[in-house]
Every structure is written in structure tokens, then in C-alpha cells.
């Protein structure tokens, strides 16, 4: 977790808000043990990231309506009960607003994990058809139930065939870690033309996918805005505050700039 921007984002926000709190990041193998340990330590709350967003649900007492629908949790609030939330949806919706995406017919989603579930929920009522591609096609098929609830037609695509959908969609979303730290791209961006592109990867702030998509005339945005918005909503859940997202984003950019200079 040493490359995570979340600690600097939240700790900068806590200082700005005058909160007596600290945010720490940990690599976790057993999520049940980690949750119980945090509870014993008196933690206010925590974020959950891949690969634990779905499995953590069985250790929680209740979920808000959105997390229950999605089947993935990225925020937990501790108290007499352990409450699970999903603020990734807030981040995706905000990013789509910035892209100017309001509606369309079809979207191509790369990845089939918790982030893809948040994307599907975010586009409900905006898009009627989702091409979903992953190296694990069975995982894609498990999203069909969620798509049915959301009124979205689910079209599973083998990973090798993902680029075949590019000329059929108005929006491309990368919901995989591919492209993190500049290591490759999830799709051949030179084939993009006239669509909106949302890359949920935030390190680097401008991924190769976003950079090339813009060169090809596409509206494109990386994952930093999503990260900041979901972090902001997380703090509202934990502390009932209204964070300054500009402070959070400036801290993230400083951290990522230093991280990438040293690598």
C-alpha cells in the first residue's frame, strides 16, 4: 500500500478540518482478522480496496441500499454495528458529469470486479447496453443479475475480443488496474475515435490510455477525480463533515508527482 495516495489525501483533509484523526494504509491478507483488529482498536472507519470489496460483506452487520445492490463495499463505519457503504458510485457519477456524459446506448467496461459493479450502477438509466470484458469471462457472467436489476443488457465479451466493441459504444470505462504506474494499457488506444473514456486508474494522473484518447480527439479523464470524490463522501460518513476536495486533490497530486519522480 506504499503507493496508495489515500493516506495523504485524508490526512491533509483532517488537518484542514481540524480533526483529531489519522489515516493509515495496510496490506491485508485476511480481511476478517483485519476488520476485527480495527474494531478492537476503536477505529472510526476504514476503506476497503481490491481484492476485498466483495468478500468483506460477509463480516458486516448491514449494508446501505446501494452497497447491497452492487454487492461490493469500499467504506465501513464502525460502531455498535459494522456498516458497509459504496462511495465508488459517487466518484464514477462525478467523473461522468465532468466528461459531459449524460446518456447513450452502449458502454464498454473492462473488468468485472467491484469497480465494474459500481460503474454499472452509476450508468443505470443512462445506458441500456453494456459490453463487459474480462480475462475471467465467468466473472462477467456473474454480473448479469445486477444488470437485470438495473435494466441494462449485459453482453459478455472474451478479453481477446474486447476491441471489437469499440465501434459500437459511446463510452469506454477501464475498471481494471491495467495502466497503473504507466505499465501498459488495457486496450489499444490508437483505435479510439469519438467516444468518451473514463480510466479509473489514478497513478499516473494522466494514464497512457487517457493521453492517447485525447490525442485521438476523445473526451477522456483519469481516476483521480473519482478517488477524491469517493474519499470526500467517505469522510462525510465517518465524521459528518464537508471536506475541501481541492485540498485533497492538491495533496494527491504532490504525492503522485514525488512518487513518479522517484520511480
By annotation, the residues acting in catalysis are: 53
φ, ψ dihedrals at 127, nearest 5°: -125, 145
- Distance between start and end Cα atoms, the chain: 15
Between the alpha carbon of residue 192 and those of residues 96, 165, 180, the distances in Å are 18, 11, 20
CA 190/CA 19 separation, integer angstroms:
46
Whether residue 240 contacts residue 220, with contact meaning beta carbons closer than 8 Å, is answered with no
Q: What is the DSSP letter of 3?
A: T
153 forms beta bridges with 129
Beta-carbon contacts of residue 259 (< 8 Å; ≥ 6 apart): 3, 203
Amino acid at each position: 500500500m506504499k503507493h496508495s495516495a489515500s493516506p495523504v489525501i485524508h490526512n491533509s483533509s483532517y488537518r484542514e478540518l481540524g480533526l483529531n484523526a489519522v489515516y493509515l494504509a495496510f496490506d491485508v491478507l485476511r480481511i476478517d482478522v483485519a476488520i476485527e483488529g480495527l474494531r478492537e482498536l476503536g477505529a472510526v472507519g476504514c476503506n476497503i480496496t481490491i481484492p476485498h470489496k466483495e468478500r468483506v460483506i460477509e463480516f458486516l452487520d448491514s449494508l446501505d441500499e446501494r452497497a447491497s445492490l452492487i454487492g461490493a463495499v469500499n467504506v465501513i463505519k464502525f460502531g455498535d454495528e459494522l456498516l458497509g457503504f459504496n462511495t465508488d458510485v459517487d466518484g464514477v457519477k462525478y467523473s461522468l458529469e465532468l466528461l459531459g456524459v449524460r446518456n447513450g446506448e452502449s458502454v464498454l467496461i473492462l473488468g468485472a470486479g467491484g469497480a465494474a459493479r459500481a460503474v454499472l450502477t452509476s450508468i443505470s438509466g443512462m445506458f441500456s447496453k453494456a459490453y463487459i470484458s474480462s480475462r475471467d469471462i465467468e466473472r462477467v457472467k456473474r454480473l448479469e443479475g445486477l444488470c437485470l436489476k438495473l435494466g441494462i443488457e449485459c453482453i459478455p465479451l472474451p478479453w481477446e475480443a474486447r476491441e471489437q466493441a469499440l465501434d459500437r459504444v459511446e463510452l469506454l470505462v477501464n475498471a481494471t488496474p491495467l495502466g497503473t504506474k504507466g505499465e501498459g494499457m488495457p486496450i489499444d488506444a490508437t483505435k479510439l475515435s469519438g467516444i468518451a473514456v473514463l480510466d479509473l486508474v489514478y497513478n499516473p494522473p494522466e494514464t497512457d490510455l487517457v493521453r492517447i484518447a485525447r490525442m485521438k480527439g476523445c473526451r477522456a479523464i483519469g481516476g483521480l477525480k473519482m478517488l477524491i470524490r469517493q474519499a470526500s463522501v467517505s469522510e462525510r460518513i465517518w465524521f459528518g463533515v464537508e471536506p475541501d476536495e481541492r485540498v485533497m486533490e492538491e495533496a494527491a497530486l504532490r504525492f503522485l508527482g514525488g512518487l513518479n519522480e522517484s520511480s
